Amino acid sequence: MVGSLMLEGCTAEKEDEALIGFWRKDSVYSFYNGFGFMRRDFDEEPLIEYRSGGQLLMKLDKETRLFSYVIDADTLIHQNKGRGEKFIIVKANDKVLVLRRNLSPILSGKNQTRFEIRYFSRIKG
């Protein structure tokens, strides 16, 4: 089941430790009202480095951007200048990171489900 939670540690401290390091996005699964697809072909994606102390560095070629992150239970929030992007930590260990982001519906109406799941692999920096 795509929406199931598979945390390998229940505390934010353990999740923080599992995040520390460099990550490369492998694929993104997008779902909207019963239709889903997996995307593996990205033009250019930044290398993501989670650092201790709640710092997140994104690098693409020579450009770098510094963000902050906060972990609250199974939720990871990336923050930048007062704006936040919220993810549910589906899985985090020494090899893979799986994050789910719930998205707002595009169409009007009730009972709509839209989300994406991002899959990352740990790499050496």
C-alpha torsion sign, points 35, 73, 121, 58: positive
Q: Is the model's pTM score more than 0.85? A: no
pLDDT of residue 9: 44
pLDDT of residue 99: 97
pLDDT tens for the chain, 125 residues long, are 343 334 444 455 666 788 999 999 999 999 999 999 999 987 788 999 999 999 999 999 999 999 999 999 899 999 988 888 999 999 999 999 999 999 999 988 888 999 999 999 999 86
Q: Which of 102, 107, 103, 122 is nearest to 3 (CA)?
A: 102
Tokens of 84: 């936040």
